[in-house]
C-alpha cells in the first residue's frame, strides 16, 4: 500500500489543504502511518494527538489515530483544544511526538496537521521525507493502542503557575476557535473584570474570521473595550497559538510592539539575552531590544524556523508580526497565544500598569500593513529570486535572511514568499511619507518587472 499527497499540501511548517480537494481522511491515515513509522524507527512509542473545532477535524483525527496504531505506535488523544495545549501535552506526558489537526486561521474548508518530533518542531525536510515514506509505502506495521487523556485543567493550572495576576478589566475575543474553553477556565482564576466574546467552538466561524492580525477581525473586540471601559483587549486565532491585542483606546498593538513590551521583564531577569524578531518586524523592535540591554536577532518568518533558531542560540523569547510569541523563559519554547496573554498582563503591570500609556510611548512609525500579492505555488519563490538577482546586480543593500529586505536611507522594504499560502508578502517602513512613497515605488517596480500585479490586501 502506498499513498501520494497532493503536491500543494506538504508545506514548510505543516501539512495543509482544502478538505475534499487537496486533503482528506486517506491523507490523515497516511500521515499517521508515516509519522508513526518515523517515531517507531527512532525508538519511540507514544504520540499525543489533538484537534481544533473545524467540522472536518474529528474525522481526520480518527483516521490519523488509526494510522499511528497500524504503525505500532500508541496514540494519546487529548481531544478538542488549542495547538499549544497539544504541545504542552507532549512535554508534560513524556510523549515521543505530537500531531495537532488544525487549519489555524485559514478559511473553514481548510484543515491541516502540525507535528512535533520529541520536544522539537517537525518541518521542512522532515515533512518532505514523510511524503516520500508514504509514496514508497515504506511503513512499519504493528498494533498500537489509543487512550484518552483529559489535560485542559492541568494546562490552565500551568498557565498560571508562579503568576500573581493583577486586577484588570480585559476583553477576550476567542473568535469561536478552540481557545474559548481554555479562556473560560482561565479567567475564573484571574482577579478583575473579564468580558468574553465568542468562546463557543464553531468551525464555521459565524462571527468573524479568527485571524487577529487583520484589523477588520478586531471590530467586536474594540467595541467591547469601548463599551465596558476595558484596560485592554486580547484576541486569538483559530487554534490559539497566536495573539492580537488592542489598548484601552482600541488601538492595535501589533506583533512587534507586543514583543517589545514582553521583552522588558525577560531582559530584566536575563540581561543581554538574545531576543528574536522575524524579518517582517519594525526596526523599532530591534532598537528597543538593544535599548533594554538585549541582543536583537532578525530571523526567518515561520513558527518552526523560529523555534529551531531559539534552541540554536539559547533565546528566552521570540516573536513574529503574525502574533506568534515563543517563551523559553519560564515556559517550554513553543508559541502560545493564551500564555502570551498571561505574560502580557504581567508585563503591563510591571511596566506601570497601562497598556495605553505603553502604546503612547512607542515611536510613531510610518509603515504599511502586511501586503499580499497573488502568485502561484511554483512561481512565488522564483519571483523572489528574480528580484534578489536584480537588486544585487544594482548594488542595493539587501538582507537575504528570508526573501529580500532592502535597506535604503528612506527606510526598508521586504518581499518574501509565504510558506503557507500561494502569495508573495511585502511590507515597508519609512522615516517620512515621502520616503514611504519612494520605497513603494521601488517595490512595485520590482513586482512589475517580474509580472506581478500589485493588488494590495491590507488591514
CB 117, CB 97: distance < 8 Å: yes
From the list 96, 85, 97, 102, the residue with the least C-alpha distance to 149 is 85
| Spatial CB neighbours of 363, under 8 Å, sequence gap ≥ 6 | 284
The three-point CA angle 99-101-103 to 5° equals 135
DSSP state of 369: -
Overall residue count recorded for the chain in this entry: 459
The answer to whether 132 and 22 are in contact (CB under 8 A) is no
Q: Which residues pair with 97 in a beta bridge?
A: 47, 117
Long-range contacts of 440-447 (CB under 8 A, 24+ apart): 440/368, 440/413, 442/406, 442/408, 442/413, 443/413, 443/415, 446/387, 446/390, 446/391, 446/415, 447/373, 447/383, 447/387, 447/415
Q: Is 147 among the residues known to form the active site?
A: no
Q: Where are the alpha helices (DSSP H) in 137-293?
A: 152-159, 179-187, 219-228, 255-269, 283-291
Q: Which of 104, 282, 304, 375 is catalytic?
A: 104
Q: For residues 164 and 444, what is the distance between their CA atoms, to the nearest angstrom?
A: 50
d(CA 169, CA 239): 24
Between CA 77 and CA 65 the distance in angstroms is 8
For 143, the grid coordinates are: 498494533
* Cα dist from 246 to 224, 232, 355, 419, whole Å: 11, 6, 9, 27
CB-CB contact of 427 with 415 (8 Å): no
Report d(CA 213, CA 210) in Å as an integer: 9
- Answer whether 151's CB lies under 8 Å from 93's CB: yes
Q: Are 442 and 415 in contact (CB under 8 A)?
A: no
Residue 448 in 3-state DSSP?
A: helix
Beta strand segments in 9-73, E: 15-18, 46-51
**Cell numbers representing residue 87 in the block:** 504541545
CA distance 295 to 327: 16
| Residues marked as catalytic | 104
Amino acid at each position: 500500500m502506498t499513498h501520494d499527497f497532493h503536491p500543494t499540501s506538504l508545506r514548510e511548517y505543516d501539512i495543509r489543504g482544502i478538505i475534499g480537494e487537496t486533503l482528506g481522511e486517506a491523507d490523515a491515515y497516511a500521515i499517521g502511518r508515516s509519522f508513526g513509522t518515523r517515531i517507531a524507527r527512532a525508538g519511540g512509542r507514544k504520540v499525543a494527538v489533538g484537534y481544533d473545532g473545524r467540522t472536518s477535524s474529528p474525522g481526520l483525527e480518527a483516521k490519523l489515530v488509526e494510522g499511528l496504531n497500524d504503525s505500532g505506535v500508541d496514540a494519546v488523544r487529548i481531544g478538542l483544544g488549542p495547538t499549544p495545549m497539544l504541545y504542552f501535552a507532549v512535554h508534560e506526558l513524556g510523549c515521543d511526538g505530537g500531531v495537532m489537526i488544525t487549519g489555524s486561521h485559514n478559511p473553514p474548508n481548510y484543515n491541516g496537521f502540525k507535528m512535533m518530533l520529541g520536544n522539537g518542531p517537525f518541518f521542512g525536510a522532515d515533512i518532505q521525507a514523510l511524503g516520500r515514506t508514504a509514496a514508497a509505502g515504506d511503513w512499519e506495521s504493528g498494533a498500537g493502542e489509543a487512550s484518552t487523556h483529559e489535560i485542559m485543567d492541568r494546562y490552565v493550572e500551568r498557565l498560571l503557575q508562579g503568576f500573581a495576576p493583577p486586577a484588570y478589566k480585559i476583553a477576550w475575543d476567542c473568535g469561536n476557535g478552540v481557545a474559548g474553553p481554555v479562556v473560560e477556565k482561565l479567567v475564573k482564576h484571574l482577579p478583575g473584570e473579564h468580558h468574553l466574546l465568542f468562546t463557543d467552538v464553531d468551525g464555521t466561524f459565524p462571527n468573524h474570521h479568527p485571524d487577529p492580525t487583520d484589523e477588520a477581525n478586531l471590530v467586536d473586540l474594540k467595541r467591547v473595550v469601548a463599551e465596558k471601559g476595558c484596560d485592554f483587549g486580547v484576541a486569538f486565532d483559530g487554534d490559539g497559538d497566536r495573539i492580537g491585542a488592542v489598548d484601552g483606546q482600541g488601538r492595535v498593538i501589533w506583533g512587534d510592539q507586543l514583543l517589545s513590551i514582553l521583552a522588558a521583564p525577560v531582559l530584566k531577569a536575563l540581561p543581554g539575552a538574545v531576543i528574536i524578531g522575524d524579518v517582517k518586524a519594525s526596526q523599532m523592535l530591534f532598537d528597543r531590544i538593544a535599548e533594554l540591554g538585549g541582543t536583537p536577532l532578525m530571523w526567518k518568518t515561520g513558527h518552526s524556523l523560529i523555534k529551531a533558531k531559539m534552541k540554536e542560540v539559547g533565546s528566552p523569547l521570540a516573536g513574529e508580526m503574525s502574533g506568534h510569541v515563543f517563551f523559553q523563559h519560564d515556559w517550554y519554547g513553543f508559541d502560545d497565544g493564551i500564555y502570551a496573554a498571561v505574560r502580557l498582563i504581567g508585563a503591563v503591570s510591571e511596566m506601570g500598569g497601562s497598556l495605553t500609556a505603553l502604546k503612547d510611548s512607542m515611536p510613531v512609525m510610518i509603515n504599511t500593513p502586511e501586503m499580499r500579492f497573488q502568485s502561484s505555488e511554483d512561481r512565488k519563490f522564483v519571483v523572489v529570486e528574480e528580484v534578489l538577482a536584480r537588486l544585487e546586480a544594482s548594488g542595493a543593500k539587501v538582507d537575504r535572511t528570508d526573501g529580500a529586505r532592502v535597506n535604503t536611507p528612506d527606510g526598508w522594504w521586504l518581499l518574501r514568499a509565504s510558506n503557507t499560502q500561494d502569495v508573495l508578502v511585502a511590507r515597508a517602513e519609512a522615516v517620512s511619507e515621502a520616503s514611504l512613497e519612494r520605497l513603494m515605488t521601488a517595490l512595485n517596480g520590482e513586482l512589475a518587472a517580474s509580472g506581478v500585479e500589485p493588488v494590495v490586501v491590507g488591514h
